[in-house]
Structure 1
């Protein structure tokens, strides 16, 4: 090989110029890179075009920094199924302006007409609401008009509440019925609860149920000395065990598979742990089921409460917080009456000499999303194509979320002096038929057209509306705006205890259903059956109410059988 500075030669013949080879290298590399970029960008363009066409075209409500930032994140997120097309504003100032090349559309006038026009002009499919920028009444108004225009509604909470800002589309979901219930947010004194529970040994009965499991989760946050979760539902108890193990690895807790009506088992648990606080949430709650099985309702709801309450006294428990229900107020069904009998017992026990345990009762209505509640039931019916079944067109109920209810239970537990019944402000009652119609609309369907609604008639023991106070009770305010205390009617311990002894014999040995219910009605005089086979028992002679003054009946008030007793001093 022979070479010089300008040429490369082989056997005396020139083959390549060194400069030409270098130039060829750079040109080849440049063309290759340009080709690769062209192919990649072409693919991205075609892919984005196809993706954009398949995305849901949505309006973003509001022109705040939050809604603008959210829209920008959705535009930049290639995996997002949503494509912001415009901002929807109720403020005329932004009319005819653009942000990120997205127009600001005004809807100050007849919003349903304007939404209809916007839908046609921009081919919009849905509306995205961001966080709590609207009050619940305003949100309801916007949502109703959006449904009327044939649009879907989506919701996302404020970005500052997100765990991370990536995958913004995963934080967006169809609006839920819970978001449309008119109730004010609940605030609790977490420091007071923390001071009250930290370092304590705490028992939660019914700890695998909807309320009990949430109570256990919330109590765990306050770092108790030991937390015992007790329930007789094996699978559900296993689930809460796995949750606590993963979420609170340093928490000292135990899950006990046990029945609250087994006195020997319960005594062993109390003797072992010497609880400071008991949250008693174990109960049977389904009205029609307990109407047909009164023995089991009384056994769990009433006798189970009596066993636990007596053990709490015997083992020096500081506080016993019973979770009750608004169905215990002037009960119209066996379930409500069993809970009212339990309330009466713990109140009577509080007045017994020598009792130092503070017995506190909390009452609230239906909780959203609990096992067997109406909302999961409706969702399943809608998923299956209907019909959605409502028992009466005028039936109304109070609703609260499970976390909210448990927060108030914890708060009330710190407030009680002993013997009180705390009643929670549940907000405005909700007409169940309206809820069914809205849930169908939230699913993107039309009630009575896509999904039929059937009125089936009131179930056994069911009321049209629930009450907050029994006859003779008065509502008193507390320092917490969402918690009231009921001025209750007091009952003599011996009378209630003897009545429960008789009931216990009936449910375990010789009693027939009607005899059992008759005895329960004698104990709970305000129990009047509705839509029930036991209604005719109310036509019989009602027990006489006797007032006890300083331990003795007032003159001229003789009574042949156990009766309801009021205590005066």
Structure 2
């Protein structure tokens, strides 16, 4: 029934386009619109346009997943329809002169028909996959989604933004894009999300977010980012030091149900770019147990891990040296709670 409705809608739009093209070009036909000749003309236009649209594949497209080639198909179909009707009018003039028709009306018809046939599909796509659908479908008592920053290629950014907006409930909201392509247009927007940084200033921008100038909950790397970004390890370190969770986009799942992003936690092997070496816990414990341990840079992400592990392994005391007083305070609070 949905497909039948779309078919009827299209032929009605074609007839509306005919009427609008005559009105806009200020033309009058030599026959009445509701006469036998007029009704036969409209019926012929309906049949020709319907058969042409069916042959062009307009009704085999799932418009929720429509892309540029699908709208180009509408453009091509409208152009062929305009040309067909124009040739039909030329043939008709050999048998009977028809006043009020010339190339100007057909040019206007082409532009109007493409616009009003594409508009409902484009509007449906916007409602279904745009930000408005998430806003309309979101309940007032829902919690705010986590703010995320994406680091990767612009093509992946477009895909991730689209699927984060259609997710129900919305887990993440992309606040900015850090493009890995050199020469990417800084300050431009992809689906309303700004490109906030490009190579090679990724570290500086992430530090601004991590130090609290702008709240951030999640850092999402694009697939293969560990091989494309020279400062990958440093970006991960800055994010973790700022209590920002780090994940990496690896694909999509459940495509038949609006799609779902697959985000994998960034492991130590990825940061080091080599397999992790298994630790000999018993040997390290025997070395640390009962001793006084000094950890330099102990307020950093790696330093905090060393402090916690030393205490777990039975160190008599752990002395922390770091230039961040607030970091040492946070660490002491954690130790006191334990």
TM-score tier by shorter-chain length is 0.3 to 0.5
- Asked which structure has the greater CA Rg, the reply is 1
Larger helix percent? 2
Larger strand percent? 1
How high is the TM-score relative to the length of structure 1?
0.25
